[in-house]
Structure 1
Amino acid sequence: MRVVGIMSGTSLDAIDAAVADITLEGETVALHPLGSVRALYDDDLREGIVAALPPARTTMEAVCRLDTRIGQAFAEVAVAAIELAGPVDLIASHGQTLFHWVEDGAAKGTLQLGQPAWIAERTRVPVISDFRARDIAAGGQGAPLVALLDTLLLAGRPGRPAALNLGGIANLTVPPLAFDTGPGNALLDAVAPPYDEGGARAAAGTVIRELLDRLLADPYYARPAPKSTGKEHFNLAYLGDLSAYATDDVLATLTELTARTVLDAAREHGATELIVSGGGVHNATLLARLAAALPTTTSDTLGLPAQDKEAYAFALLGFLTIHGLPGTLARTTGARRPAILGSITPGLETGPAPKRLAIM
């Protein structure tokens, strides 16, 4: 089965679509990457998303407009992926996270926008969407859902390997656990939008110890896994008044914050190496800091493009859903049981033709 996975993370850097040929033989699933496409949000839509994110207030009108416009943007990227790889059987769309509701360490709900009907109508292909809600309903965190692909990717490696995804939020998979460690790129991008290319400005700065100590005192880091978080917590307002500091020094401090919290979590769970993916792989300063403490490589060395890993992960989850199989593993998210994830929006022709109804 050919499946397109579409993903836009909390960094809002782009919409990524990856096409995979996925097969299931007995208990063995095989995923063969076929290629990917990437499209930036147009400035107006990106600004609209940013304006609706916490701690800002928004309106139901804005949410409705964003749901439609994000769905249309995802539809265009899906078309581009199909033009690249040829006809596909299924599309798995993560959507754009606008809110992840966590109270006292428990996930209560989550909201991803990007109306799948626009994708199905534009491509005529069935779409799986809204992946996270079912895991939360089963008592899980709803994140990180990349854990299943990570577990398959790490299988057979020596020691205790860990998969690290550096998106807006950093998440770590150390089987059988998977959890958000804290900020990845979110705070860095908020301080120097759209991003500090290659981590060059952070490399030029000096860590501000009092700021780092204050940020490291956040109770989130001491909570046991599994756990999840988002921009509801780690945003520009969270940092407080930074006017007394040089921007490069703040970036150096936030880079150290991400590295320290990732490494602390990895060591706590006995990780012996980091397999890194996500947009953060382009931050050479951050990767050098990680590699100085633990053996570090990217998922490209294991045959899975680092930039596209999450898109391929949702392609796999969509494939499992359409086959009636769970997309989570026991314990990874804290759910009571593995769950079949997502909702299905039919394509132009899905399943047998319906019988005619007699109108009485």
Structure 2
Amino acid sequence: MRVIGLMSGTSYDAIDAAAADLELDGDSLVMRPLGMVSEEYDEPLRRALADALTPAAVTLADVCRLDTRIGQAFAAAAVRADRELCGGRAELVASHGQTVHHWVEEGRVHGTLQLGRPAWIAEATGLPVVADFRTRDVAAGGQGAPLVSLVDLLWLRGRPGTPVALNIGGIANLTAPDGTAFDTGPGCALIDAAARGFSGGRLAYDADGALAAAGTVHEGLLRRLLDEPYYALPAPKTTGKELFHLGHLRDALAGFGTLPAEDVVATLTRLTARTVADAVRSVGATEVIASGGGTRNPVLMDMLAGLLPDTALRTSDELGLASQAKEAYAFAVLGFLTAHGLPGTEPASTGARHGSVLGSVTPGREQLRLPPPARERPVRLVLR
């Protein structure tokens, strides 16, 4: 089955569309990656999305407009991916949508909201669409994240030692071989917020770690940031920009006077490296395979390597899976599993009572025809 996976993460900078040929072969799921295209959000939509996130107050009219415009943007990305990567022969689209809120209280997730209605994708492509992946896991008592953990477990099975998969997006998360998976804390969320805040919106992120490289870590600010109670919570746990936003940083800065922007960004970069390294050590990892936008920040990666001197650190590119496209490919896999009636979650990773077949299916132009249900979920993911 040829599947397009659509993903826009907590950095909400662009929609990644990755296509893959997927098939079941005994106890293996074989994936042939076909490539990725990326569509940036236009600036008015990006600004409207940023302005709507917690702790901002929004109206239902705002949510309706965002849901429509995000859905149309995802549809455009899917159309392009089908044309450029699949030659117009895609069979299914799996859309994560855009997370705008993750409702967490006292460590328990009560709800999660992703915008970008799949009807726009189905109408534009004519293909069936699997979407709204996270809610079913939450309904089963899970965190609804990190959903890529199942794909990580299938992909890394059989590697020697204790390999962990690490994704550094707006929020960073990891998956260990025993199924332990959780959000470690801010990936690039606070770094991006500081870059935008100090530049008056001119910078969306710290490109190539330039600001951090020019600054010095402020130890007092770092200690205050590390006092955030989230870091001490047991796994499984999830978080988001509901917690790690510009207001969080402003509260931490109170009483320190005016610090240079470069020092603040350097400190936030160390915060991400430190909290990730602490999480990696907590699961006894011997190897870290990293992906996501944070891997393009050399200062962050150097800090992380320095904090983990005895742990091999490499990117997923070295294992044949493009780090920027990995999450989009993961949702292509999850969509494939749903289409075959197979669970897309691992209870040990999300804390759910049981594994669940994820998402809802929106039919395309033709009569909806799903493959015959598969009998058992594969135990490994093989790249070809």
Instruction: Sort the TM-score into its range (normalised by shorter chain).
Output: over 0.9
Residue in 2 aligned with 1:97? 99
Does residue 172 (structure 1) correspond to residue 182 (structure 2)? The answer is: no
| Structure 2, unpaired ranges of 5+ | 197-203, 370-384
User: Structure 1 residue 154: deviation in Å?
Assistant: 1.4
Q: What does 1:29-48 align with in structure 2 at a 5 Å threshold?
A: 29-48=29-48
Q: Superposed, which structure 2 residues align to 1:43-62 within 5 Å?
A: 43-62=43-62
Q: SS where residue 139 of structure 1 aligns? A: coil
* Contact residue 128 and residue 368 of structure 2 kept, 8 A: no
Normalised by the size of structure 2, how large is the TM-score? 0.90
The answer to whether the aligner puts 1:269 opposite 2:269 as a matched pair is no
Instruction: Report the counterpart of residue 225 of structure 2 in structure 1.
Output: 215
Q: Could you list the runs of 4 or more consecutive aligned residues of structure 1 that deviate by over 6 angstroms after TM superposition?
A: none
Which residue among 257, 260, 265 is the counterpart of 2:274? 260
Determine the structure 2 residue equivalent to 1:357.
none
Partner of 2:209: 199
User: 1:8-23 alignment to 2 at 5 Å?
Assistant: 8-23=8-23
Write the distance in 2 (CA, Å) between the matches of 1:290 and 1:240.
25
2:338 is aligned, of 321, 332, 351, to: 321
Describe how 1:1-360 pairs up with structure 2 within 5 A. Answer: 1-84=1-84, 85-86=86-87, 87-175=89-177, 176-193=179-196, 194-240=204-250, 242=253, 244-292=258-306, 293=308, 294-351=311-368
SS in 2 for 1:58: coil
Task: Give the structure-1-normalised TM-score.
Answer: 0.96
Q: Structure 1, residues 315-337: CA drift from partner, whole Å, max 9, x if none?
A: 00000001000001131110000
- Asked whether the 8 Å contact 1:140–1:335 carries over to 2, the reply is yes
For 1:332, what is the secondary structure of its paired residue?
A: helix
One-letter identity of the residue aligned with 2:356: A
> What one-letter code is carried by the residue in structure 2 that aligns with 1:150?
D
5+ unaligned residues in a row in structure 1: which ranges? Answer: 353-360
- Counterpart secondary structure, 1:152: helix
Q: 1:17 and 1:312 mapped to 2: Cα distance?
A: 8
Deviations 1:241-284 (A, max 9, x none): 54611100001100000000000011011011110001111101
Shift of 1:200: 1.5
Offset of residue 351 of structure 1: 3.2
Asked if the contact 1:255/1:286 (under 8 Å) is kept, the reply is: yes
CA RMSD of aligned residues (A): 1.0
Query: Is the Cα–Cα contact under 8 Å of residues 126 and 350 in structure 1 kept in the other structure?
Result: no
- Amino acid of the residue matched to residue 44 of structure 2? D
Q: How many residues align?
A: 352
Q: Distance in 2 between matches of 1:32 and 1:338?
A: 26
- 3-state SS of 1:65 partner: helix
